[in-house]
Structure 1
Amino acid sequence: MTRTLSYAAIGAVVVLLGGTYAASAGWLDSLFGGSSEDVYADCRQGAVAGDIGGPFELVNKDGATVTDADVITEPTLVYFGYTFCPDVCPFDTARNAEAVDLLAERGMSATPVFISIDPERDTPEAVGEFAANLHPKMIGLTGSDEQVKAASQSYRTYYKKQDGDPDYYLVDHSTFTYLVLPEAGFVDYFRREVTPEQMADRVACFIEAT
């Protein structure tokens, strides 16, 4: 399934079949900017800007409204997807869950978060069940169309519902995973090809540097 990544302010990146990227790694790194004052420079795979991420208000599995402050209480891996996703989302979220387990083996704690970009079908209960099936610590979030759109825009993600069957439609969406720290905010991102071991190593670097 074709995935498309688009940022209104900085152009568009087309994601090829299976979630691989048409852009080179260097181009993607430059997309995210950078800073000479980066205290986490030794931990990063590439440079990132500080204007990704931020406040959000969404709904958890119990139907309660939560904010980013409620959710991001430790190093957190944030991923935007949807429960009906037939291929990319299950793979990516399972990878994130495995990375969290690898960190736990090192005595480090992190939280995986799954934010649905398909509020039309993804009820709080459905998102909660999806997350719980992947990892006991995974937090599933959804919300109204406006809440989901605001969270997506905050992280500069892209999603678009495809035309087709009203019950079994697909949703094009970006596939980055974002590392967010409670006090520092967004600090790094992970592409689809990053392995659980590589993700755990990089997250551990940030934890040790904090």
Structure 2
Amino acid sequence: MADPFPELEEEQTPEERAAGQKTFHKVVWVLVAIFAGIGLLALFGPDRPSAPDQPTNYGDTVGGAFSLTAPDGSTVTDQTLKGKPFAIFFGFTRCPDVCPTTLAKMARLRQQLGEDGDRFEIVFVSVDPGYDSPEDVGRYVDLFGTPIIGLTGSDEDIAKVTKAYHAYYEKVPVEGGDYTIDHTAAVYLMDREGKLQSIIDYQEGPEASLAKLERLVG
């Protein structure tokens, strides 16, 4: 995934970085509006961006203990989430394609579930703690118009949770000394006990995805 703002790759002043973040969030808003307005048709068209291979056949080995930080500074653990199904996705706030489209898709699917949409949580974990502070993650997930639990942590925290979920992520250098991140594009659907029930693939159609969520909250 290429950096959407190559002009930000050179060393920047705090003012320039702030302006770049503002511009990026405007782009995210546009993406959210597009996917909400057209029912995510573009997501399933022939020009979908590629994504890393998805985890398969891991069964009960997916999930486990973790401790991460929420935007308000509170600690969220695997035990915090137990008792209610949740959909967990790993990404980063500067992600130009997979992350905004996936979170917009999940917001749309929750809306389609009606009252049942309140019966599961959506969790977004940033795998870029060097750039994404908890506050940054909070502002990012607020853009999608539905309650999303945004989390991040130290490098060690992220390594632990991604290992538990068999999620892939890797920094990829780009010109100018900056980087982007390749990462797993799947959404993990976890039951009330924190066990993997199913996975929504990035390229999966809305009907199949909705059916999986209906089973999750059923």
Q: Normalization by structure 1: what TM-score?
A: 0.74
Please say if 1:159 is aligned against 2:159.
Answer: no
Report if the CA contact (8 A) 1:75-1:180 is conserved.
Answer: yes
Which residue identity is paired with 1:152? T
State the number of aligned residues.
Answer: 174
What is the match of residue 81 of structure 1? 91
Deviation at 1:135, TM superposition (A): 3.4
Please say if 1:145 is aligned against 2:155.
Answer: yes
Q: Distance in 1 between matches of 2:129 and 2:176?
A: 14
SS at match of 1:125: helix
Q: Distance in 2 between matches of 1:86 and 1:160?
A: 16
Deviation at 1:188, TM superposition (A): 0.9
Equivalent runs, 1:127-138 vs 2, <5 Å: 127-138=137-148
SS at match of 2:96: coil
Which of the numbers 58, 65, 72 marks the counterpart of 2:75? 65
Report if the CA contact (8 A) 2:111-2:117 is conserved.
Answer: no
Q: Distance in 1 between matches of 2:118 and 2:132?
A: 31
Report if the CA contact (8 A) 1:102-1:197 is conserved.
Answer: no
* RMSD of aligned alpha carbons: 2.5
Q: Distance in 1 between matches of 2:143 and 2:82?
A: 20
Report if the CA contact (8 A) 1:56-1:151 is conserved.
Answer: yes
Q: Distance in 1 between matches of 2:78 and 2:71?
A: 15
Which residue identity is paired with 2:135? E
Percent identity of equivalent pairs: 32
SS at match of 1:18: coil
Report if the CA contact (8 A) 1:116-1:141 is conserved.
Answer: yes
Which one has the bigger helix percentage? Answer: 2
Please say if 1:52 is aligned against 2:57.
Answer: no
What is the match of residue 19 of structure 1? 50
CA offsets, 1:126-168, max 9 Å, x none? 1011111113310100000000110000000111111135775
Q: Which runs of 5+ in 2 are unaligned?
A: 3-47
Deviation at 1:183, TM superposition (A): 1.9
Report if the CA contact (8 A) 2:70-2:76 is conserved.
Answer: yes
SS at match of 2:49: helix
Q: Distance in 2 between matches of 1:117 and 1:144?
A: 9
Q: Normalization by structure 2: what TM-score?
A: 0.71
Which residue identity is paired with 1:146? E
Deviation at 1:67, TM superposition (A): 0.4
CA separation of 1:107/1:80 partners in 2, compared to 1, >3 Å: closer, same or farther? closer
What is the match of residue 5 of structure 1? none
Which one has the bigger strand percentage? Answer: 1
Q: Distance in 1 between matches of 2:134 and 2:194?
A: 28
Report if the CA contact (8 A) 1:98-1:196 is conserved.
Answer: no
Deviation at 1:106, TM superposition (A): 4.9
Q: Which runs of 5+ in 1 are unaligned?
A: 3-16, 34-47
Q: Distance in 1 between matches of 2:68 and 2:91?
A: 14
CA separation of 1:20/1:60 partners in 2, compared to 1, >3 Å: closer, same or farther? closer
Deviation at 1:197, TM superposition (A): 3.6
Which of the numbers 191, 199, 209 marks the counterpart of 1:199? 209
Q: Distance in 1 between matches of 2:154 and 2:86?
A: 23
